[in-house]
Amino acid sequence: MFYFFSLLFFMFFSSGGIAIAEEPKVPIWELPELEPAVIYVAISEVTMSTGKGTSEELNVLIEHYGSQVGNLEYQLARKSRQQKRRVDVYNRENIRFFHSDCDYIADPLGCGVRNGHWTLRTFVQVGDKYSTVIVRLYDEKGQIIAQGKKTAWGTIRLLPQWKLTTIKESGGFTGDKTTEIFEQYPPKIEELPPLITPYHIHQATLGMFLSVKPKD
């Protein structure tokens, strides 16, 4: 009998002691709605050998692709038990309806930290051989939570060079005579500068949204 109770005692404590009932999980549809994530899509910053500026063509593209937040919503849902979180997107056109007390053109990241929302910034480095576009997503504390990168390479085109000379000789027993001399030279190398296209902006933005890792 003593052996029997000793065995029960050993099994009871070796299994972790008193079992605590787990609280039932609340169904997703009964969870409180998550607060929307707010993103401001800032204008691009382009750096060249002559200085820094922006590009209206790039701004239109980044505002377009930056507002396609389906992949971002998917990533956020993965981190919250598949509970969907709405993403509200603002840009230079409609930010005045959300916050009108900050200069979002001059200091977009600072305004994002001040007003407590995320900021999407695009940096383009233009070079002679290649150009790079980097898209970064900052949270409300100014920390980078995702980024994407795409490089556009310049191309080299070979232009053939040749010369055809026609020599006409008149007179003689056989009449006029025409001689053609074809001369071929080494091809001319032409370097085409790297250009950022919609493809590069789309790929960089897509990679950025798929890599988002919100800070706790």
Residue 22 has φ and ψ, to the nearest 5°, of -75, 140
The tokens for 133 are 């576009």
pLDDT tens digits, one per residue of 79-103: 766 567 889 999 999 999 988 889 9
Q: Are residues 147 and 199 in the same domain?
A: yes
Is 95 a member of any domain?
yes
Region 163-178: mean pLDDT is 73
Q: Are residues 57 and 115 in the same domain?
A: yes
Q: Are residues 47 and 131 in the same domain?
A: yes
Q: Dmax of the chain from CA atoms?
A: 139
- Helical ranges in the chain per DSSP H: 2-14, 56-66, 70-78, 108-115, 198-210
Q: Are residues 85 and 98 in the same domain?
A: yes
Number of domains in the chain: 2
Is 36 a member of any domain?
yes
Is 20 a member of any domain?
no
- Answer whether 153's CB lies under 8 Å from 126's CB: no
Q: Are residues 65 and 114 in the same domain?
A: yes
Q: Are residues 118 and 140 in the same domain?
A: yes
Is 183 a member of any domain?
yes
Is 140 a member of any domain?
yes
Element (H, E) at 164: strand 155-169
Is 15 a member of any domain?
no
What pLDDT, on a 0 to 100 scale, did the predictor assign at position 215?
62
Task: Domain of residue 106: give its range.
Answer: 32-154+194-210
CATH number where 61 lies: 3.40.50
Q: Are residues 139 and 63 in the same domain?
A: yes
Residue-wise DSSP of 34-72: PPPEEEEEPPPEEEETTEEE--HHHHHHHHHHHT--HHH
pLDDT tens digits, one per residue of 20-36: 444 455 444 444 466 88
Region 156-173: mean pLDDT is 73
pTM over 0.75: no
Measured distance CA(101)–CA(86) in Å, rounded: 24
* Mean pLDDT taken over the chain: 81
Give the closest residue to 148 by CA, choosing from 61, 75, 56, 210.
Answer: 210
Q: Are residues 49 and 104 in the same domain?
A: yes
Radius of gyration of the chain from its Cα atoms, rounded to whole angstroms: 33
pLDDT tens digits, one per residue of 184-215: 878 776 666 788 899 999 999 999 999 887 66
- Answer whether 129's CB lies under 8 Å from 154's CB: yes
Q: Are residues 59 and 94 in the same domain?
A: yes
Is 10 a member of any domain?
no
Q: Are residues 72 and 109 in the same domain?
A: yes
Q: Are residues 145 and 50 in the same domain?
A: yes
